[in-house]
Amino acid sequence: MARVAATAAVLVLLSTGPALAKVPLLWNLSLNTMNSVLVSPAGKDQWGPEQIVNDKDGTVDPDERLKITGVADGTYDVKFKDVKGRTCVVRNVAIHADEIFTIDEKELKDCSK
């Protein structure tokens, strides 16, 4: 009986493994809702796939978090568009698995409309 219980526990852990994978989270501390988020290795302007697809409603409201997928630990530039029509780039952002990084309104210096 103990062997069956142990086997069942291992199967549960194996089946939920990907669900437990840790990913970085962007915490939107800007004043506006984001409707596009792209990530590039710092200084490269090689923007990866759209990250906003990781949100169920396709936007990241102020004080909301967004899963960032497909990036290794490192330093990145983050480009976003918001519902007010701004496009902003935040440079040299440290992104690490299982950590939250912020985009804060006070650090938005590279924005255009």
- pTM here is 0.81
With contact defined as beta carbons under 8 Å apart, do 47 and 91 qualify? no
pLDDT of residue 16: 47
Report yes or no on 6 lying in a domain.
no
Q: Which residue has the higher pLDDT, 109 or 78?
A: 78
Which range (5-14, 28-37, 84-93) has the least confidence?
Answer: 5-14
* Segments forming the whole domain that contains residue 70: 22-112
Report yes or no on 74 lying in a domain.
yes
Which domain CATH number covers 33?
A: 2.60.40.2890
Above pLDDT 90, what percent of the chain? Answer: 77
- Per the structure, the count of domains in the chain is 1
pLDDT of residue 20: 62
For residue 84, give both structure tokens. Answer: 């007010």
List Cα–Cα distances, 42 to 32, 46, 78, in angstroms.
24, 9, 9
Beta strand residue intervals within 1-113, DSSP E: 25-29, 34-41, 65-67, 74-82, 87-95, 100-104, 111-112
Report yes or no on 13 lying in a domain.
no
Average pLDDT, the chain: 88
pLDDT of residue 75: 98
Report yes or no on 58 lying in a domain.
yes
